[in-house]
Structure 1
C-alpha cells in the first residue's frame, strides 16, 4: 500500500466474537473475515461481495460486507441507473455520508449531488465508518447452528458479487428494500429512544412568604406581577410587551466539494412571478425544463388532476397533453370562425344548418365563444368552458344544467 493516499485506510478489527452484520458467533465452521471498506469483522456469508478499492490502496478485489456492498453499488451507478432508484434511497445514501440535502426536492438534484461527490471526501468516509449499524442480537445458539449446517444459509443483507446481478429491476429493487429497511429501523429507534421519551423534570412551585398575623401582605418592590401588568395595559388600551423573537437564519453547511447549483440557492432566491399557460405557449418553453412546483401550479390553474402521479416525467406528459389540447382548441375555434365567415357569404340553408349545429355541439353554453372542456363534479355535466366554469365556481357554485352544487372542476381533453 502506498503512503501517499488521500484517504486514511480503515483499521481492520481483530478481536470480535460475533459477526458485525448477522450477529452469529464465530466457531470452527464459521471463519472470521474482514470488510476492507469499513474494517468490521464479519463472517464469510456476509462478505461475499468483492470489489476494488483504489482509494484505500487495494487495486485488487477484496472482501466487503453486505452493508458496504449496497453503498458501493450505488457509487458505481451512472445517471440512468440512479434515476430508477427511489428518492428515499438517494437521500439515505447522501445521509449516510453526511452530505447536505437541504433544498433538494427533485430527484435530479439528489443525483447531481451524488455525482458531484465522486470520489467521496475523506470526512464523509470517516463519518460513514463511525455511524455503522449496531451488531444485531444473536438469533440462534451454537447447537442449533450445528444441526442446521446442511441447510442453505442466506443471511439477510448479503449481496452477491456476480456482475450479472447488477442489472435489471431485481437488482434495483434489492437496493431500494435495503435502504428502506436501514433508515426505517433508524427512524423507529430514534423515535423510541429513552432520551426522546424521557419525562421532563417537574418544577415544584415555591411557597410564597406568609405575612405575620395582623399585617397585610405587600408585594416586593420592583416590576409588578404579570397579571397586574396585563390589567394595567388593558385599562390603558396598550398591548402587553412581548419578548422579541430571535431571527432564524438558514443553517446550510458549507463543504469544499459542494456544487454551485440551483438547489443550494433555493432558500435565498426571491419569489418568482407565477407562470401562466398563455405565457408558456407564447414562449414555447420545453415543459421538461420546468420544476415540479411550476408544473403542478400550471395543472392546478387549468383544473387538471394529477392524483397518483409521483414521477416528474408523468407530470411533464400531463402538462404536454394540456398544451396540445389548448393548441387544438384554438385551432378549432379559428377554423369555426373561418367556416362561419364563409357560410355568411353563401346563403345555402344546408350549410347554415350544419355550421350552426357544429357550433352548438362544441361551444360553451354560456359564452358561446370558447370550446367545451370543463366537467362539473359531482353531476358530471359538460356544458361550459374552463373560464366560465371558474366564474361559476367562484360565484353560485351551481351547475347551469341541473342546478346541483359544484364540488370541483375537471379539465377534459378532446381526441
Structure 2
C-alpha cells in the first residue's frame, strides 16, 4: 500500500512538471531532494520574472544621447527626425534642428549656401535620405540642396492648390454638372483641347541643362580667376588636358591660363600663315622672291619667274622638257 502511494505521488509530480514546464516538481520524498514545502519549483536559467528591456533605444540624431527629463525629445518640422532640446532651435513656435535652422537662415540663396560648410550641406541631405555619393564638389551639394528645396516647395504649392480647388469644386459641384449636361459635345471637346494644350505652358521644366564652360567664353586672363573649380575642370576636359594631379584651385587656374595663352598664339600664327599663303601664291616657286610672270612651253605651267624659267631644263611640276620660256604681262 505504501509502495503504491509512493509511485502514484511520483507520477503526479512528473505530470505537474510536464504541464507547467518551468521547473522540476519535487516533494519531500526519499527519492527527491529536500524542500521547504510540499512542492519546490526550480526555475530554468533562461527564465526571468522581469520583462526584457527594449532593444532599440531612441537617441538624438545630432549628439547621439538618449532622451531624458533634462533632454526632452522634439521632432524637427522640416526633416521629421528626433532631436533633443539642446540640438534643436525654437523659432516662431516651430522646432527645427540646428542643421535645418542653419540652412533656413540662408533663405536657400546660392551665394549664402556656398559659404556654408560641406559638412552642414551633406548632413542636410542625409537627414532627408538623399544620397550624396555622386557629389564631388561643394557646388554639386548646393545644386542638390536647391533642387530638393525647389521640389519640396512646388509639392507644397501643388498640395495647397489641390485643396483649394477641391473646396471650390465641392461648393460649385451642382452648377458645374448642370452646365456640362446642357452644353454641346463639340464645346466640351474644344474645352478639353484648350486645357490639354495649356497645361504644358503652365508646367515649365524643372531640370534645365546647364551650359558647359568652354575656352571661347574667356575673353582675358582675368576672367579665369572668377571661374569655379567645376568650370575649370570642364574647360580642361573639353580640350583633352589631364588634371588628375591638381589638388588646389590655383593649379587648375594655371593650367587653364596656359591653355588660353597657347590658344591665342595658335590663332595669331594661323592668321599670319593665311596671309603668307595669300602672298606666296604669286611668288616664284624656285626663288620665292620675284613674281610669277613666265609660261613654260610646251606644258604651259606658270610656276616661275622669267629669270628662273630660262634656267629650267624641265618643268618642276610635270617634268616635261622646257622648249621655251615666254614672259607674260598680267592685266
Q: Same fold by TM (over 0.5)?
A: no
Structure of higher RCO (CA pairs closer than 8 Å, 6+ residues apart): 1
Bigger proportion of residues as helix: 2
Q: So what's the TM-score if we normalise by structure 1?
A: 0.27
Which structure would you say has the larger Rg? Answer: 2
